Chain A
């Protein structure tokens, strides 16, 4: 158990809908990163939030957006869902930005299926 919790664990949406995924970071962590993991692939970096501001973004379109709240929890929003958005969405928290390895703690993920 890493202390990073994500909700919901599974959800099904249809093409064109919008989805919000939630993440509670580990206690004491002020940085949250989101990753998309398609089936059979490695996770891909979406963006990172640090002190409620976006702090780095991967190659994802603007319909992927996020928020970080004062308690450092975070949301990932995806608008106009496409079939290719079906994936496991992982949240990872750390004490500071730019950290990886043993300093980055992943949640169990939210499995999104778009029909």
Chain B
């Protein structure tokens, strides 16, 4: 079936480095993509989103890139901090429908 998946299960970086987390999706009908951060013992927390009519969107220290040609999504975190350590999920949605489909997740470990 169609699904959202991640390339790397764990990413270890040093504090101050830039981090890049990747995600592949396969549902060509998806038109809305979201990145969530989940800390241990907590629910997913919204980071940034992007619609399919865009290829880049920037937030505070984060940038999401969307490549519809190869169905690839990435999250870039600038100047990574220990507080960024968490599991990051990409999710896809067909706008207006109730189902949000999540990928498996990537654990980001930031060393001081």
Which of A's residues lie within 8 Å of B, judged by CB? Answer: 2, 4, 33, 35, 40-45, 48, 55-56, 58, 90, 92, 97-98, 100-102, 104, 106-109
Contacts and interface: CB of A to CB of B under 8 A. Distances in A.
Nearest 4 Cβ contacts at the A-B interface: A56-B98, A42-B102, A106-B43, A101-B49
Contact of A100 (B4, B49, B105): B49
Contacts of B102: 35, 42-44
A43 B95 CA distance: 18
Interface string B32-69: 10100000011111100100000000000000000000
A25 to B, nearest CB: 13
A104 B93 CA distance: 12
Given A98-B95, A100-B91, A108-B41, A45 B49 contact: no
Given A90-B43, A100-B34, A42 B89 contact: yes
Contacts of B104: 40-42
